[in-house]
Structure 1
Amino acid sequence: MPAAPDLTIERVDTRILDVPLIRPHGFATMTATAQPILLVSVHLAGGVVGYGEGVVPGGPWWGGESVETMKVIVDRYLAPVMVGREVSDLAGILVDFGKVVANDRFAKASCDVAMHDAWARALGIPVRDLLGGAARDSIEVTWALGVLPLEKAVPEIEERIAEFGHRSFKLKMGSGDPTVDTGRIVQLAGELDGRVGLRIDVNARWDRMTALRHLPALAEAGIELFEQPTPADDLATLREITRRTGVPVMADESVCSPSDALAVVREEAADVIALKTTKLGGLRESVKTAAVAEAAGLACHGATSLEGPFGTAASLHFACATPAVNFGSELFGPMLLKESYTTTDLVYADGRVTLPEGPGLGLEPDAAAVSRFTRD
């Protein structure tokens, strides 16, 4: 019989990448022209290396972390917990993370994914098999436009339809005057005349009165989903919007843990849960959160923090191994990058992204590109 692979974690390396975007991407509070990514590599004694990414959507305004803080947390506090232990002790390692670092879920997620990748590679199996095996081999992808004026949004939508077959598009709101913002979206919906699905994301920036004043006009225009229009901790208002507007509401900022999902369920505050493997602390916590939503009959959406290829592949393995992720995905992060830093790319076609084959996450780093994007 062949010798069992040595699963001992020998070292953990981190580096910050700054990867240019194909165009500026607007959030509710800022506009990004490049995506900072913490690339984490977990090296096993047997020579196998696994990769994970620490990524926040648009910077620390979203969840309080940044690539800079994540690097310190991983290097000084999480790596010492991992080194010297077998990667198959992943569940115990994650428990011990909580003994040395509170919260910091994005940093923990980068290590969780890198350990899953290393463990699966060492066993010669895909990450999805560590999560129970594939329930599907691809998933629908919504393309996010960010905050774009009509004259830029329409051509980009037409281009994405023609080239990649996208059928669903998300627009950011919350950065400008709500009346102007709403008028922009209503005009865009009229221009497209129902040819594609449109949804909006306010990134929790509207108060109750603003939401109740403007969401009805968006509902009348045919917007198919309202993502987190009001603050994360105000579940009462989120419930009121869910009941009054007649449009499905998705909780994103409100759900950063399984217990958060349970609170949304108890308050009947949303119809859909946005599952970001990054904000939830990794793949294991994402599985738990999906189970809570599924038990309550809520839909789940495979959301993104604009991860690069490794982080997106991890979310894709999770989404394809989790039947509860039944409301499509937004796993388009690599498509927004001007260049890749893997030797092969995820495959996007017909409005979907396909699960990669091969051991681990199914991707290999392009060493030259990684070096080129590495921050000094």
Structure 2
Amino acid sequence: MNDLTIEHVRTAILDVPLIRPHRFARTGMEAQPILLVTLTTRGGVTGTGEGVVPGGPWWGGESVETMQVIVERYLAPLLVGRRVDDIAGVQQAMDDVVANNLYAKAAVEVALHDAWARSLGVPVHTLLGGLARTSVPVTWALGTESAAEVIDEARDKLESGLHSSFKLKMGAQDPADDVARVVEVAEKLACDASIRVDLNARWDLVTSLRWLPRLAEAGVDLVEQPVPGAEVEWLAEINAALPIPVMADESLRTPSDALRLVRMRAADVFSLKTTKSGGLRATRAIAEIAAAAGVPCHGGTSIEGPIGTVASLHLACATPGVTFGSELFGPLLMREELLTEPLRYADGALHLPEGPGLGVELDPAAVARFTRR
């Protein structure tokens, strides 16, 4: 049997260029920084996890630079000498030394799962309980560009058969202008596709109650996180007022958050992200709380590269409650391929790869080319 004891922990920051600029309510990016965390066991098995945030520390307070410091200085010394199958013990040890920093911990936790599954010769989804599905639908995220640009991009995706669901970013403009832009898009596309919006927590309660009904009237069929994450009471009031679902993202990071959202009926859909919640197991716990309450889950994204994306895919495919599709489009937004065999996007969905661990292999040449010096 392989020796599962961790011998080495290595990190690298990659800067991967995007096919086009991607904008959020507060920031934008032309390249996505990715932290790779690689664990090697004494038996010679490696596991890799990914630390990545959407556009920098504005979302959750972490960046690839902070994650690298946390992993190298505080978490790696805890990992060396422990077994990759001691995931609960490692998580407790990490929490004893480092509070919060869930993105950094997620990178480590996914690497543990990858290494353990590879040592057993099984896919990661086996460690999560087995398959509920083998693929998930993928929504394509559109930025804050003009209505004409957004409509053209969406039409191209529809005609290619890659996507039939689209999410528009909002919150970067005056509400009246922002709503007019989205209404124009929705009126052109709503008959052919699902149109959703994400405010990235930029509006207050009054602004939301004034303008969001107009989006519903225009054909928008879901609103994601219109108000700041801490304002769960506002979110509940908005959810009660709107005839379309409200999805929680910034308000949902931990199982405790999930329980509070359920009790307050603050969201009709939960956005799951292994990154923001500290890894696969905590995210699965959130999904189980949602399932008990009859709340469907959606596979959200932090614009992960292929490692983070496929980790989230394993979770989504092993979790029955992920019935509201996904946004696992991150690798499609990246200009360069990082894997020896790309992930398979077809028929509007991302399909689970076969093989042990995460089921993918990084291309060493591509990793070297984009590694930050």
TM-score range, shorter chain: over 0.9
* Identity between Structure 1 and Structure 2 (%): 60
> Distance in 2 between the 1:110 and 1:340 partners?
20
Match for residue 301 of structure 1? 298
Contact 1:250–1:270 (CA under 8 A) maintained in structure 2: yes
Secondary structure of 1:176's counterpart equals coil
Structure 1 residue 58, shift from structure 2 partner: 1.0
132, 143, 147: which one pairs with 2:144? 147
Deviations 1:189-221 (A, max 9, x none): 112241100000000000011111110110100
> Distance in 2 between the 1:88 and 1:137 partners?
25
Q: Work out whether 1:267 is the aligned partner of 2:264.
A: yes
Match for residue 184 of structure 1? 181
One-letter code aligned to 2:287: A
> Distance in 2 between the 1:332 and 1:161 partners?
15
Number of residue pairs matched?
Answer: 373
Contact 2:189–2:195 (CA under 8 A) maintained in structure 1: no
Match for residue 242 of structure 2? 245
Contact 1:164–1:348 (CA under 8 A) maintained in structure 2: no
Match for residue 210 of structure 1? 207
> Distance in 2 between the 1:43 and 1:89 partners?
15
Contact 2:143–2:150 (CA under 8 A) maintained in structure 1: no
Deviations 1:108-132 (A, max 9, x none): 0000011101111111110000001
Structure 1 residue 54, shift from structure 2 partner: 0.2
Deviations 1:55-90 (A, max 9, x none): 011110000000000000000111111110111111
> Distance in 1 between the 2:172 and 2:39 partners?
38
Match for residue 130 of structure 2? 133
> Distance in 2 between the 1:68 and 1:174 partners?
27
Matches within 5 A, 1:51-70: 51-70=48-67
Deviations 1:252-294 (A, max 9, x none): 0000100001110111111011000000000011111111111
336, 340, 356: which one pairs with 1:339? 336
TM-score by length of 2: 0.99
> Distance in 2 between the 1:142 and 1:171 partners?
10
Q: Hey, which bits of structure 1, 4+ residues long, moved more than 6 A?
A: none
Matches within 5 A, 1:1-376: 4-376=1-373
Contact 2:190–2:220 (CA under 8 A) maintained in structure 1: no
> Distance in 2 between the 1:164 and 1:30 partners?
30
> Distance in 2 between the 1:226 and 1:191 partners?
18
Contact 1:290–1:300 (CA under 8 A) maintained in structure 2: yes
Pairwise CA RMSD: 0.8
> Distance in 1 between the 2:319 and 2:42 partners?
31
Structure 1 residue 297, shift from structure 2 partner: 1.0
> Distance in 1 between the 2:191 and 2:330 partners?
25
Structure 1 residue 164, shift from structure 2 partner: 3.9
Contact 1:27–1:175 (CA under 8 A) maintained in structure 2: yes
